[in-house]
Amino acid sequence: QVLVSSISALGQGGASSITTRGGSLQINATVLPANASFRAITWSVSDISIATISGTGLLKALADGVVTVTASATDASGVVGR
């Protein structure tokens, strides 16, 4: 079994913020190595009263503020990316 060694998460087009309430931003994850046995990830945000994120990485603003988006490997590696 090849475990995930790193995950990087980046907003579409390099964006790192949403400037309108109710706006959204697609977050994309890069999972390495490319031949990892289980490349699936789960998404989470640090404060669900400010933003939510879907299982596909679509971040949606609910209120003004700052959140940290985390992508977590679903294998036994324990690797997370932000």
pLDDT per residue over 70-81, tens digit each? 999 999 999 999
- Which has the closest alpha carbon to 82: 71, 13, 73, 74? 71
Extended strands (E) in the chain: 6-11, 24-32, 41-45, 51-53, 58-61, 69-73, 80-81
Q: What is the pTM of this model?
A: 0.91
- Token pair listed for 68: 């940290």
DSSP state of 21: T
pLDDT per residue over 27-63, tens digit each? 999 999 999 999 999 999 999 999 999 999 999 999 9
pLDDT of 21 higher than 90: no
